[in-house]
């Protein structure tokens, strides 16, 4: 199955939402019923996917929550990916990128062995550090542009000599580095005052948008300012979906939270 821009457009319009569910399986937060298992991360995430796949446009797997558990975590990650239906769009959130030969190893692992559809990447070592990922023409490279965390001001919002922000330079530098069917950018939902500036630089690219939910980004502002004629946005929600009632959260609660977000987005169709 080719998961290009047209695939994403179709999936969004079919589902009538932009929802990307973040899979961040934190052992200190997941329901107790999973903690006795030898594969708690797998069991929890698998049940989340099974109960939400009819609503979700995509899933973003936060690699850190698996990596933290060493060999067992990596094994559960690989098993999880084998259980996610082929028609689902899967993003590995690993924020990789390095010198060419190292990036090639990362790209081969995530795109060939794990066969994820997209991988998050940091841009700060330059275009050549991203090129090995772009060599996989049927996969998406998701580049950090303007992130949702307060620390985005430390570097991404630094003013350049010409008065523009550093993140603008990044968007300009990378927007033509690959095909529009393989380049996506991370833009935080907490960056309301800069959203129109982002779209003026990359009007046609897809955006992965964190920050709606726990970080307080405004859903209406995000959709109004960042959606384009091709839909063009995947809105990620993690903690507010996985743990809406803290330690008392049930799978039914997770399903209800997803329904709430999907319903809120549906009014834009």
Residues annotated catalytic, as ranges: 95
Q: Where are the alpha helices (DSSP H) in the chain?
A: 5-15, 40-52, 64-67, 70-83, 100-107, 127-134, 152-155, 166-174, 195-201, 219-226, 239-242, 251-266
Q: Give the closest residue to 38 by CA, choosing from 80, 81, 73.
A: 73
Residue 180 and residue 174 in contact, taking contact as beta carbons nearer than 8 Å: no
Q: Which two tokens stand for residue 35?
A: 């903690």
H helix and E strand count, the chain: 12, 8
Residue 124 and residue 96 in contact, taking contact as beta carbons nearer than 8 Å: no
CA 53 vs CA 106, 202, 220: distances in Å: 28, 30, 24
Pairing of strands 58-62, 89-96: parallel
């Amino acid at each position: 199955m080719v998961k290009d821009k047209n695939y994403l457009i179709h999936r969004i319009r079919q589902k009538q939402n932009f929802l990307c569910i973040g899979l961040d399986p934190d052992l200190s937060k997941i329901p107790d019923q999973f903690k006795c298992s030898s594969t708690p991360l797998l069991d929890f995430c698998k049940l989340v996917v099974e109960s939400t796949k009819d609503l979700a446009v995509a899933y973003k797997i936060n690699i850190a929550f698996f990596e933290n558990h060493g060999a067992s975590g990596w094994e559960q990650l690989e098993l999880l990916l084998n259980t996610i239906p082929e028609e689902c769009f899967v993003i590995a959130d690993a924020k990789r990128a390095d010198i060419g030969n190292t990036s090639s190893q990362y790209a081969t692992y995530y795109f060939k062995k794990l066969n994820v559809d997209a991988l998050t990447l940091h841009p700060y070592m330059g275009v050549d550090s991203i090129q090995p990922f772009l060599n996989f023409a049927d996969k998406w490279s998701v580049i950090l542009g303007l992130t949702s965390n307060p620390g985005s001001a430390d570097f991404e919002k630094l003013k350049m000599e010409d008065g523009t922000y550093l993140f603008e330079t990044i968007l300009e530098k990378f927007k033509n580095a690959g095909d529009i069917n393989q380049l996506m950018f991370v833009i935080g939902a907490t960056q309301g005052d800069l959203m129109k500036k982002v779209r003026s630089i990359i009007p046609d690219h897809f955006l992965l948008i964190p920050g709606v939910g726990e970080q307080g980004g405004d859903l209406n502002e995000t959709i109004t300012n960042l959606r384009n004629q091709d839909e063009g946005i995947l809105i990620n929600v993690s903690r507010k979906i996985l743990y809406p009632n803290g330690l008392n959260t049930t799978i039914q609660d997770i399903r209800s939270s997803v329904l709430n977000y999907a319903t809120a987005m549906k009014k834009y169709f």
